[in-house]
Amino acid sequence: MALELRGILDTPRDIVRSRLHGTARWSLRLLMTIDHHLEKRRSRRTLLELTDDELCDVGLTRAQARAEISKSWFWS
């Protein structure tokens, strides 16, 4: 009787634990995606601070840098 009751009580706990792990994984992926997009935004804004010589060193013109900066921070 004790084993049967124990088995019944463990099942909902396992389900909740599984759902929490799934939610945690999903949340982590979401945070990593947002962090990736924000890093792209930061790196694009850094282009604003570069001189023409520095842009030339990385192989960009001022017009190309402006085009890159004007891109959406999230979708591209």
User: Do 44 and 73 form a contact (C-beta atoms < 8 A)?
Assistant: yes
Is the separation of the CB atoms in 59 and 26 below 8 Å? no
Non-local (6+) Cβ contacts of 55 within 8 A are: 47, 61, 62, 64, 65
pLDDT tens column, 3-12: 555 555 566 7
For residue range 37-62, what is the model confidence (pLDDT) as tens digits?
A: 889 889 988 998 999 999 999 999 99
- Cβ atoms within 10 A of the Cβ of 65, count? 19
Distance CA 58, CA 44 (A): 13
Rounded mean pLDDT, 11-15 = 72
